Structure 1
């Protein structure tokens, strides 16, 4: 999945000479947490967060109007720069690493040096929900398999024989053992028991559900 598929394009921005008061008003009005700062040609020169604004004008958030002069300072005086940006054609899976490593809450999206969008932590969380298929009603199955070529089609063919539609698939390592991996399926059925039994009959170990006993004959 690409960044351009999940980014917001209606980005609220401010010029560097705007006041801190302007930024506070925009955050409250649009219920956002970050404002990219752009120059005349819409290239990004900084970014301001709600935390930056709280630090610069704590009285605004505590009902004290005695610090009005500080609110008239230009936003460039508190903005963060230079700004880490991403491209619309970056993979979402790769920018997730940037969010994690750098502990960012938002990343501006830039194309040809022009701001075209923004991706937030909330956007990333919603994307994870989509990628894992948890937004669609279905059943969750985790299968421990050998880490070897051809194993994936073998497992999916077993599911396919039951005409169960696969909503999503994920793969992750099995603990610290490089000889195995875990295939995580969400299948569009409310009765996964036939698929579960077929997988067990084929010799696969299920990590989930691992509490459903095999039927007695």
Structure 2
């Protein structure tokens, strides 16, 4: 999946000359957590988060100091330079950037100009869609030999049972490289028949666990 499929295109921005007060009002009014700071050519030159604004604002008890701080330009607290991504980047790749850098958002830039933004919440929502957990389904985990043809065999079993696969994930097996863990979201609320078929085909079932007392 490409970044352009999940990015928000309507981005609320401010110029570097805007005040911290204006940033605070925009954050509260639009209920957003990040504001890209752009110049007249729509180039991104910084970014401000709700935490940046909160940390820069004195206690509400010190009203005089608070008024002075809120009059300062936003460029005085913005973070720069800014790490950006491209609309044609793969979501799977930028997920690693979010994880490694602990970013709350990443601006999307094309031909030097800001065209969108992706937040950590957008990434989580996308992960939910990719894994199929937002749909009524059953979770099945198998230990599968790491060799050609195994996935085709598994698909044929699902096809014989006329059960759609909503999503498929493959994880490393902690016990060695000879097997992989295949996680399937199946479009059924009664997974036992397909699980039994997979077991008869020789696959080790990790989940669902066998019923206690079942033979």
TM range (shorter): over 0.9
CA contact (8 A) 1:20 1:75 kept: yes
What does residue range 97-136 of structure 1 map to in structure 2 within 5 Å?
97-136=96-135
C-alpha distance in 1, partners of 2:69/2:32?
Answer: 22
What does residue range 11-50 of structure 1 map to in structure 2 within 5 Å?
11-50=11-50
Misfit runs of 4+, over 4 Å: 213-216
What does residue range 68-83 of structure 1 map to in structure 2 within 5 Å?
68-83=67-82
Deviations 1:137-193 (A, max 9, x none): 011101100111111111111111100011111111111511111111111111111
Aligned residues: 214
C-alpha distance in 2, partners of 1:178/1:17?
Answer: 56
State which drifts further: 40-49 or 171-180: 171-180
Residue in structure 1 matched with residue 84 of structure 2 by the alignment: 85
Report how far residue 65 of structure 1 moved. 2.7
C-alpha distance in 2, partners of 1:13/1:137?
Answer: 39
CA contact (8 A) 1:169 1:184 kept: yes
C-alpha distance in 1, partners of 2:135/2:146?
Answer: 29
C-alpha distance in 2, partners of 1:163/1:212?
Answer: 24
Where in structure 2 are there 5+ consecutive unaligned residues? none
Change (3 A) 1:190 1:52: same
TM-score, structure 1 as length reference: 0.95
Report how far residue 58 of structure 1 moved. 3.3
SS at match of 1:177: coil
TM-score, structure 2 as length reference: 0.96
C-alpha distance in 2, partners of 1:58/1:29?
Answer: 21
C-alpha distance in 2, partners of 1:137/1:31?
Answer: 31
Deviations 1:4-32 (A, max 9, x none): 11111110000001001000000000111
C-alpha distance in 2, partners of 1:63/1:187?
Answer: 57
Deviations 1:33-60 (A, max 9, x none): 100000001110000011111111133x
SS at match of 2:11: coil
Where in structure 1 are there 5+ consecutive unaligned residues? none
